[in-house]
């Protein structure tokens, strides 16, 4: 079953940001089972370990509808996972606005954008209550220094914004504790 590398790349990025996910592996195993016409093979695209210890096999698709063969494979893989005490997810299309926002923030995921403890504390204070992004940035300091740290904090979930809406300078941002 082929879902496409672009869909897998997107979902790996989204899962990397997901606090429920503690570990991730690509193409971890190959499953084989017999059907009347022979043997079917399938290598799920991802294996996840969730923070609660639960194992998840996952496949990624960019399409809203699965083909009949994909549905058949998903049903069998779901049964195999249930027997092993795991879950099986088929990760489908992602809202384009959310995808663009998270893709932008992913450019700031590296720790070099953190800005240090003092800048992080200043951002937490500036956004203790929901405030427009640009007002909080101006309150903290030089935008060339503050914006990368703000985007890193949004990526890491220490600051929050509605990523279902287009990002802009007036979008409300708030500290995670205020949520």
Residues 52-78: pLDDT tens digits?
999 999 999 988 899 999 999 999 999
Q: Is residue 133 domain-shared with residue 66, that is, in the same domain?
A: no
Mean pLDDT over the full length of the chain: 94
- Residue that is last in its domain, among 28, 60, 91: 91
CATH number of the domain within which 127 lies = 1.10.10
- pLDDT at position 100: 96
CB burial string 98-136: b at 16+ within 10 A, e below: eeebbeebeebeeeebbbeeebbebbbebbeeebebeeb
Q: Is residue 156 domain-shared with residue 86, that is, in the same domain?
A: no
d(CA 162, CA 103): 14
Nearest-10 Cα torsion for 75, 81, 85, 89 = -80
- pLDDT at position 2: 43
d(CA 166, CA 120): 24
d(CA 70, CA 74): 6
| Containing structural domain, residue 25 | 5-91
- Residue that is last in its domain, among 60, 91, 122: 91
Number of domains in the chain: 2
Residues 106-136: pLDDT tens digits?
999 999 999 999 999 999 999 999 999 999 9
pTM: 0.85
Q: How many helices (H) and strands (E) does the chain have?
A: 6, 9
Describe the strand order of the beta sheet including 87-91 as a list of residue ranges. Answer: 21-26, 46-50, 55-60, 87-91
- Residue that is last in its domain, among 74, 91, 108: 91
């Amino acid at each position: 079953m082929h879902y496409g590398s672009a869909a897998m790349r997107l979902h790996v990025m989204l899962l990397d940001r997901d606090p429920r996910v503690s570990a991730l592996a690509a193409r971890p195993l190959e499953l084989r089972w017999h059907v009347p016409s022979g043997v079917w093979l399938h290598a799920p695209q991802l294996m996840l370990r969730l923070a609660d210890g639960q194992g998840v096999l996952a496949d990624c698709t960019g399409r809203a509808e699965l083909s009949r063969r994909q549905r058949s494979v998903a049903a069998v893989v779901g049964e195999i996972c249930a027997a092993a005490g795991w879950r099986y997810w088929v990760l489908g299309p992602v809202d384009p606005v959310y995808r663009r926002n998270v893709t932008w923030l992913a450019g700031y995921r590296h720790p070099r954008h953190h800005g240090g403890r003092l800048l992080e504390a200043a951002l937490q204070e500036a956004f203790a209550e929901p405030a427009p992004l640009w007002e909080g940035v101006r309150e903290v300091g030089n935008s060339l220094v503050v914006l990368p740290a703000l985007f890193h904090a949004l990526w890491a979930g220490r600051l929050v914004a509605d990523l279902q809406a287009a990002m802009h300078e007036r979008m409300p941002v708030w500290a995670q504790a205020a949520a």
